[in-house]
Structure 1
Amino acid sequence: MAQLLIVDDEAHVVDRLALTVDWKSIGIDQVYKAYSGQEAIEQLHQFSIDIVITDIRMPGMSGLQLISEIDRQWPKTKSILLSGYSEFTYAKQAMRFQTEDYLLKPVKTEDLLATVARVLRKLEREWEEVISAQRMTYTLKEHLPLLRANLLHELLQGKYRGGTALHEKMIRLELGGEAWHRFSLMAIRLDEGFEEKSGEDLSWKEYAVANMAEEVFGGRYALWQTKDAHDYLIFLLTQRKDAEGDDPGWLERTASVLQSAVGVYLKGKVSIMISGTGVFPGDVPAAYNRSITAFRNRIGQEPEQFMRLEDEEDVVTAVRSLEYLYEPPALIHLLEAARWEAVEERYKRIFAGVENGEPVSEEQLLEIYFAIASAYTYIAHKNGRLLADTFGTDYGRMISGMPFRTVHQLREWSFRTLQALQEDIAKETKDNRSSLIDRIRSFIDENVTGDLSLQSVADRVKLHPVYVSKVYKLETGENISDYIQRVKMEEAQSLLVNSDEKVYVIAARLGYQRPHSFIGAFKKTFGMTPQEYRDGHMP
């Protein structure tokens, strides 16, 4: 929904337009008021205003100056000019290219609504153009290397096992989705000569190494690269269709050429690990994990080494690693961001992995349990809660030693406690918001004849006005201004019946600069003028 700002030094004009026009009928959700050009600038700094309606002649900053400033600082904000008959021709000539339209005072409600609705449609078209295919294509080209690297990083972590989603992404990133049937994985570790003197210096050297790899391997292979969490440069290689026949020694010779070039031109040493061929994309995570493990176990810390992984036996371990338990984003980060559906999907992957694989040991059950329980503990304590209060009887199992003997028991506990944590945090959030709404309404009720601007309400609850406005609308379904108006009208009813004050005095007490603005608002609410209401309730 859009936001509108009305600017005029005649307060009764601003109040009448803000309160009596049915802005919601054309999609205006929030209406702000300003009684000078400078006050309008302050509002624009605070709120995301879509359309400004301003008078042309105001003391201090004129409407023309205001529009010029809006055009300079908020080029996406649209301006509509209000002008009296005497300056209407001048306004048309002077502002032809800076305003969306110009309306003659006194403006008819239907003309005003039609004009603002037309400007809103123009705004929508402009934003649609921003996200159009042409703009997206341009942005994609500009960020292509980073997007490719991010996609490969996800592949290394096992996010994609195939399917149309991966294929379509590769086509969009110009990676030749059909070509990657088989691949080899190359990991390059930067050794001596690559000590990080500054982030810029190291990034430049990494970029240079990647370009050198592209240069020496690119004639025979298509390369796709990223940088992993261990600071290895990771490349997928797939042989080009026009490459010459198999040459078992070509990769070793070419890797040696790369190491030599890095030594001569970058004064550094690199170690290189190249895997055997695998089927894309299913074998990518395994090839990556085997390469990193072999780097650690076979090459160690010796610099400038080369190894073909297919020439070595796989590293055999007595215990199967639970890599999927630690896939990024980490479980603790998913919980912290309240991404509940993503946590459920992670649990499904974790337990599918252990239920469909080899028998699970007691230590592996503990590993899964500790990973989940520690994440729960962190999130609960960060929110000022105790797990005992959140989980109830399930907390007792957590402190009773080895709580689970089977995968099924652990799975049931994990999903059940996740639901309890989600409900507890949701309740706390709801309670906090309900308390905020109560505080806002109490302030308004107690200060119905005082300053009830959005800024004053926000100052009272010590929050930003934009946040206050959004939370109030989210929780109650109405704008704060609607509630303020309702409270003012209820107070007006009471004053009209229980006091002898004149209508204009009551209007002033309730913050209306002009009596007829108050009369118009009262009639819109109750279908009669204040005097008619008073007369009808006389004893």
Structure 2
Amino acid sequence: MAQLLIVDDEAHVVDRFAATIDWAGHGVEQVYKAYSGPEALELLEQFSIEIVITDIKMPGMTGLELIAEIRSRWPRTKCVLLSGYSDFNYAKEAILYQTEDYLLKPVKEEDLLATVKRALDKLRSEWEEVISLQRLNYTLKENLPLLRANLLHELLQGRRWSESVLLGKMKTLGLPEFEGSTFDLMMIRLEEPFTERDPQDRYWIEYAIGNMAEELFGGRYAIWHTKDAHDYLVFVMAPKQGDGGRAEGAEEPLWFERTAASLQSAVSTYLRGRISILVGSRGSFPLEVPDLYNRSIAAFRRRIGSERELFTRLEDDPPPKEVRSLQSLYEPPTLVHLLEAARWDEIEEKLQAIFGAMDSEGSAAQEHVLEVYFTIASAYAYIAHKNGRALSALIGDDFDRMAEGEPFRSAGALKEWTLRALGRIRGDMEQEAKDTRTSLIRWIQGFVEEHMDRDVSLQTIADHVNRHPVYVSKIYKLETGENLSDYVNRVRMEKAEYLLKNTPDKIYEIAERVGYLRPHSFNHAFKKAFGMTPQEYRERHT
């Protein structure tokens, strides 16, 4: 749905077009009104307006001057000119400014709607071109390295997709070699003097190391790399098949290690800096990517630590201890992030995955009960405090166990507590949002009813309730099912109907009391709503 602006120094023209045409039925969601060029520019700076209908002859800034400004600042906005002057020179200037049409006053409603429809069709066509496959492919190619790195980073962190979704992402990014493949992992840490360089220099150093790795390993491996949260360069490499591909048998791991050592030496010689390298074991893609990565991080910490320019293998590290961390508890998106976004279905899915993993751990269950409890309790406290609430007020009796420091003795009891507390937090957050919106709607409606004889434009209402006009418009429609402009018109007509029936006020006085500057505009709007003029209505009902 588009947004439209009507501009004319004759207020009754603006008000009539805005109030009497069924814009929503013709693809226009919101209609804005301006009575001068500068006022129109203020609205254009605030709202994403797609179509502007403007008069040519206006004091101060003419319609052509307004369109020239729009062309320079918002070139996609479509403009339509109105004029009471049948002058070919204006038409020529309108063509030069690439207006969509040039309409002579008085404008028929059907002619104006036809012009707006053509403008909407043109906008749709232009955006379809923008999102065309050719343009997408070009954009994808330009951003391919970053998109590949981001996808690998998510895999390393444990993000899971269905096989078909991941395969589709990889094919889009030109990574088919990894489908159903084994892979080798290599991690690189930049050291002095690289760590002392500014961020831009480090970026080019990382880029150069990636190119060096491609030169050394590219004959045998498809290479995919990223920089992780620890500033390590992480390379996932899938062996290529066929001629020129990987060596068979026991020779292959030795070749990989020798080549990694060559990379370390080349960086020292040609980039004049030091790096430490860890070579991981072979895994199955993509299932074993997060586990092998996490083991490599731990090995890097234990075997290399703060030493410099070392080279090690994951196999040199002792086997993992009996108790492991629950990967599902920490893989993205985290519980805290899901709570912040109020993604309740995904929160429940994540919790079910966590407790499912606990069930499979057997003897380590008690260790994991504590690990899960502290993580979930921390997340619940965080979201409560971020929303300015005490957790005890949200979860009631379930807070007592936390306050008394009594950990749960079984995964089942912890699960019951977790889901029950989640339900209470969710209910409170949803009720708070509903109450906030309900109060806002009442505030808006009260303002409209009290200021019916003055300006009740969307901008004025938004200023009164201290919200952005787009937010006000969207929330009002979401909560009431009615456009705010339709509500304003309806209230005006209801009040006008009452005054016609119950007061001796003249028609022009009633028009002023319900916010119409000109009786002509009021008569037009009233007839559209009731099928008769205000005078005819009064005669029939009094």
TM-score, normalisation: structure 1: 0.94
Q: Show CA shifts across 1:273-317 (max 9, x none).
A: 11122221122122111211111112222211112223x254331
Pick one of 278, 299, 320 that aligns with 1:294.
299
**In structure 1, how many angstroms separate the alpha carbons of the residues matched to 2:278 and 2:351?**
33
Question: Residue 522 of structure 2 corresponds to which residue in structure 1?
Answer: 518
Shift of residue 44 of structure 1?
Answer: 0.9
Question: Residue 348 of structure 1 corresponds to which residue in structure 2?
Answer: 352
**In structure 2, how many angstroms separate the alpha carbons of the residues matched to 1:90 and 1:419?**
69
Gaps of at least 5 residues in structure 2 are none
Question: Residue 245 of structure 1 corresponds to which residue in structure 2?
Answer: 247
Pick one of 468, 473, 482 that aligns with 1:469.
473
**In structure 1, how many angstroms separate the alpha carbons of the residues matched to 2:433 and 2:403?**
28
User: Helix, strand or coil for the counterpart of 1:511?
Assistant: coil
Task: Give runs of aligned pairs for residues 229-378 of structure 1, distance below 5 A.
Answer: 229-241=229-241, 242-243=244-245, 245-246=247-248, 247=251, 248-310=253-315, 312=316, 314-378=318-382
Question: Residue 134 of structure 2 corresponds to which residue in structure 1?
Answer: 134
> What's the C-alpha RMSD, in Å, of the aligned pairs?
2.0
Pick one of 391, 394, 407 that aligns with 1:390.
394
AA of the residue aligned to 1:243:
G
Shift of residue 528 of structure 1?
Answer: 2.0
Question: Residue 82 of structure 1 corresponds to which residue in structure 2?
Answer: 82
Q: 1:211 to 1:518 in 2, by over 3 A?
A: same
Preserved contact between residue 294 and residue 315 of structure 1 (Cα < 8 Å): no
AA of the residue aligned to 2:359:
E
**In structure 1, how many angstroms separate the alpha carbons of the residues matched to 2:139 and 2:344?**
31
Question: Residue 419 of structure 1 corresponds to which residue in structure 2?
Answer: 423
| Bigger mean CA deviation after superposition, 396-405 or 258-267 | 396-405
User: Helix, strand or coil for the counterpart of 1:438?
Assistant: helix
| Bigger mean CA deviation after superposition, 461-470 or 433-442 | 461-470
Preserved contact between residue 161 and residue 282 of structure 1 (Cα < 8 Å): no
User: Helix, strand or coil for the counterpart of 1:408?
Assistant: helix
Preserved contact between residue 359 and residue 365 of structure 2 (Cα < 8 Å): no
Q: 1:159 to 1:244 in 2, by over 3 A?
A: closer
AA of the residue aligned to 2:245:
A
Preserved contact between residue 193 and residue 273 of structure 2 (Cα < 8 Å): yes
Q: Show CA shifts across 1:222-275 (max 9, x none).
A: 210011111110001122222363435322322222122221222211111111
Question: Residue 22 of structure 2 corresponds to which residue in structure 1?
Answer: 22
**In structure 2, how many angstroms separate the alpha carbons of the residues matched to 1:437 and 1:212?**
62
**In structure 2, how many angstroms separate the alpha carbons of the residues matched to 1:413 and 1:226?**
39
Shift of residue 359 of structure 1?
Answer: 2.8
**In structure 1, how many angstroms separate the alpha carbons of the residues matched to 2:290 and 2:341?**
26
User: Helix, strand or coil for the counterpart of 2:273?
Assistant: coil
Shift of residue 85 of structure 1?
Answer: 4.9
**In structure 1, how many angstroms separate the alpha carbons of the residues matched to 2:113 and 2:177?**
51
Shift of residue 51 of structure 1?
Answer: 0.9
Question: Residue 95 of structure 2 corresponds to which residue in structure 1?
Answer: 96
- Is 1:443 aligned to 2:442, yes or no? no
**In structure 1, how many angstroms separate the alpha carbons of the residues matched to 2:214 and 2:452?**
71
Question: Residue 35 of structure 1 corresponds to which residue in structure 2?
Answer: 35
Task: Give runs of aligned pairs for residues 99-110 of structure 1, distance below 5 A.
Answer: 99-110=99-110
Preserved contact between residue 159 and residue 332 of structure 2 (Cα < 8 Å): no
Preserved contact between residue 190 and residue 270 of structure 1 (Cα < 8 Å): yes
**In structure 2, how many angstroms separate the alpha carbons of the residues matched to 1:480 and 1:283?**
54
Shift of residue 59 of structure 1?
Answer: 1.9
Shift of residue 162 of structure 1?
Answer: 6.5
**In structure 1, how many angstroms separate the alpha carbons of the residues matched to 2:178 and 2:271?**
36
**In structure 2, how many angstroms separate the alpha carbons of the residues matched to 1:360 and 1:336?**
31
Question: Residue 493 of structure 1 corresponds to which residue in structure 2?
Answer: 497
AA of the residue aligned to 2:232:
Y
Question: Residue 71 of structure 2 corresponds to which residue in structure 1?
Answer: 71
AA of the residue aligned to 2:51:
I
Shift of residue 12 of structure 1?
Answer: 1.5
Preserved contact between residue 221 and residue 246 of structure 2 (Cα < 8 Å): no
Preserved contact between residue 160 and residue 281 of structure 1 (Cα < 8 Å): no
- Is 1:182 aligned to 2:182, yes or no? yes
Preserved contact between residue 171 and residue 177 of structure 1 (Cα < 8 Å): no
User: Helix, strand or coil for the counterpart of 1:33?
Assistant: strand
**In structure 2, how many angstroms separate the alpha carbons of the residues matched to 1:464 and 1:222?**
50
| Bigger mean CA deviation after superposition, 159-168 or 32-41 | 159-168
TM-score, normalisation: structure 2: 0.94
**In structure 2, how many angstroms separate the alpha carbons of the residues matched to 1:85 and 1:4?**
24
**In structure 1, how many angstroms separate the alpha carbons of the residues matched to 2:160 and 2:384?**
32
| Bigger mean CA deviation after superposition, 400-409 or 472-481 | 400-409
- Is 1:410 aligned to 2:414, yes or no? yes
Preserved contact between residue 276 and residue 309 of structure 1 (Cα < 8 Å): yes
Shift of residue 501 of structure 1?
Answer: 2.9
**In structure 2, how many angstroms separate the alpha carbons of the residues matched to 1:101 and 1:177?**
54
User: Helix, strand or coil for the counterpart of 1:249?
Assistant: helix
Q: 1:378 to 1:475 in 2, by over 3 A?
A: same
**In structure 1, how many angstroms separate the alpha carbons of the residues matched to 2:227 and 2:529?**
64
AA of the residue aligned to 1:474:
L
User: Helix, strand or coil for the counterpart of 2:176?
Assistant: coil
User: Helix, strand or coil for the counterpart of 1:360?
Assistant: helix
AA of the residue aligned to 1:431:
D
Preserved contact between residue 15 and residue 521 of structure 2 (Cα < 8 Å): yes
Q: 1:409 to 1:244 in 2, by over 3 A?
A: closer
Gaps of at least 5 residues in structure 1 are none
Q: Show CA shifts across 1:343-389 (max 9, x none).
A: 22221221121112333332320110111111111111211222233
Task: Give runs of aligned pairs for residues 158-177 of structure 1, distance below 5 A.
Answer: 158-160=158-160, 163-177=163-177
AA of the residue aligned to 1:372:
I
Q: Show CA shifts across 1:28-71 (max 9, x none).
A: 12111111222111111121111111112222221112112111
AA of the residue aligned to 2:346:
A
AA of the residue aligned to 2:264:
Q
Shift of residue 494 of structure 1?
Answer: 3.4
Shift of residue 471 of structure 1?
Answer: 1.6
Q: How many residue pairs align between the two structures?
A: 536
Q: 1:300 to 1:315 in 2, by over 3 A?
A: farther
| Bigger mean CA deviation after superposition, 463-472 or 184-193 | 463-472
Preserved contact between residue 67 and residue 79 of structure 1 (Cα < 8 Å): yes
User: Helix, strand or coil for the counterpart of 1:195?
Assistant: helix
AA of the residue aligned to 1:371:
T
| Bigger mean CA deviation after superposition, 232-241 or 154-163 | 154-163
- Is 1:48 aligned to 2:52, yes or no? no
**In structure 1, how many angstroms separate the alpha carbons of the residues matched to 2:393 and 2:496?**
48
Preserved contact between residue 217 and residue 254 of structure 1 (Cα < 8 Å): yes
